[in-house]
Amino acid sequence: MLIPGLVVFLALSPFAGALVARLGPPWLMMAGILAVAVGFFLLSGARQGESYVQAILLLGLGVGLLVTRLTAAVLAAVSDADLSEASAINDGGSGVGALLITAVVPVLIGGSGAGGLTPAIQGGFSAAMI
């Protein structure tokens, strides 16, 4: 399901560096955040049997604009002596965020151990994406 977005992310990341030189990191990061937000909003309306490719492509575009620029901004904000620590904190924060969202989304959509996730996903997917 996520392969089209991954392809966009991988294709865009090398070119995003050239865009930073022209537009600056804040503009690309803001565009990335907006693209991800619109992608999740479009994904919230996805129904079984319908195409979701536009939403996934927007997510890939947003992540491609955001992630590499965010990492570059974090590493540019510290001295050369502290690069390894800054990189570790940046990666650790990303891992903790992914872990938290994986744990929180089932609760947000109403999942419980008793009924399983299927009814919760059917009823709460749209709200969770928004």
**127 vs 41 pLDDT, higher one:** 41
**Residues pairing with 112 in the sheet:** 116
Mean pLDDT across the chain: 83
Distances (CA, A) of 7 to 53, 62, 67: 12, 12, 15
The residue with tokens 């299927």 is 118
| pLDDT of amino acid 115 | 64
Does 57 have pLDDT greater than 90? yes
Q: What is the mean pLDDT of residues 3-26?
A: 82
| pLDDT of amino acid 35 | 94
Highest mean pLDDT: which of 35-39, 76-80, 117-121? 35-39
What are the tens digits of pLDDT across the range 82-123? 999 999 998 999 899 889 888 887 777 776 666 666 666 666
**48 vs 94 pLDDT, higher one:** 94
Can you give the residue ranges of every domain in the chain?
1-77, 80-130
Q: How confident is the model at residue 7 (pLDDT cuts 50, 70, 90)?
A: very high
